[in-house]
């Protein structure tokens, strides 16, 4: 298991829907014997309903407020593997919190994925409220808006296309070893 020098989570995963944040978090948690936390699950637990229901019944601003609180709480209280909801990085206070976490030695991993590989993973179903209508076009538009934010906030970028969660977890571990050795910037 890599050494983690930051207060807060051992590692934070960010990325678009279908990038594998939750499954890779579980693979890392198992690999490192750490607890796993997913802010989408935290939001659902606090709200007492599914994210899709929050969007329909309360609106996106209510969901984003719950999400912002979930991220803030998790960054402060969780010391394992943390997966953030795909849009969490859009909130300015979340961006500041992630930048402070990284500045303190924390690692933010951008799990990147192409539309061709995200589509079968996401299924573009009703549980993804921001992808209703033309889901492929919606996903592409989300990615165009979010990619610069993911890239700016991340310490490491890993492409997940066609890869098993265990293989992605292994690459993350290798990238962390490079970071810790100071051998240059990870890919």
pTM over 0.85: yes
Tell me the C-alpha distance between 88 and 43, whole Å: 11
d(CA 98, CA 103): 8
Cβ–Cβ < 8 Å for 104, 8: yes
Range of the domain at 26: 11-177
Which of 21-30, 72-81, 85-94, 109-118 is least confident? 109-118
If you search the block for the tokens 């500041």, which residue do you land on? 96
Number of domains in the chain: 1
Where does the pLDDT of residue 52 fall: very low under 50, low under 70, confident under 90, or very high at 90 and above?
confident
CATH no. for residue 103?
A: 3.40.50.300
Task: Return the H-helix or E-strand segment holding 109.
Answer: strand 108-112
Residue 112 near residue 154 (C-beta atoms within 8 A): no
The pLDDT tens digits for 100-143 are 999 999 999 999 987 766 665 555 554 544 445 556 677 677 78
Q: Note whether residue 6 is domain-resident.
A: no
Q: Residue 165 falls within a domain, yes or no? A: yes
For the chain, how big is the Rg over CA atoms in Å? 16
Would residue 186 count as lying in a domain? no
Identify whether 63 is part of a domain: yes
């Amino acid at each position: 298991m890599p050494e983690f020098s930051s207060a807060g989570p051992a590692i934070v995963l960010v990325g678009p829907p279908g990038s594998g944040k939750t499954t890779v978090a579980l693979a890392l948690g198992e690999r490192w014997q750490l607890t796993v936390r997913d802010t989408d699950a935290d939001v659902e637990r606090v709200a007492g309903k599914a994210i899709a229901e929050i969007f329909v019944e309360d609106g996106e601003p209510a969901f984003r407020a719950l999400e912002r609180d979930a991220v803030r709480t998790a960054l402060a209280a969780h010391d394992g593997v943390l997966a953030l909801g795909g849009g969490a990085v859009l909130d300015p206070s979340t961006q500041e919190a992630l930048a402070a976490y990284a500045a303190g030695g924390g690692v933010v991993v951008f799990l990147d994925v192409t539309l061709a590989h995200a589509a079968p993973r996401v299924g573009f179903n009703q549980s993804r409220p921001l992808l209703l209508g033309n889901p492929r076009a919606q996903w592409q538009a989300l990615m165009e808006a979010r990619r610069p934010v993911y890239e700016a906030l991340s310490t490491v970028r890993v492409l997940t296309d066609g890869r098993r969660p265990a293989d992605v977890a292994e690459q993350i571990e290798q990238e962390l070893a490079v970071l810790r050795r100071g051998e240059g910037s990870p890919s």
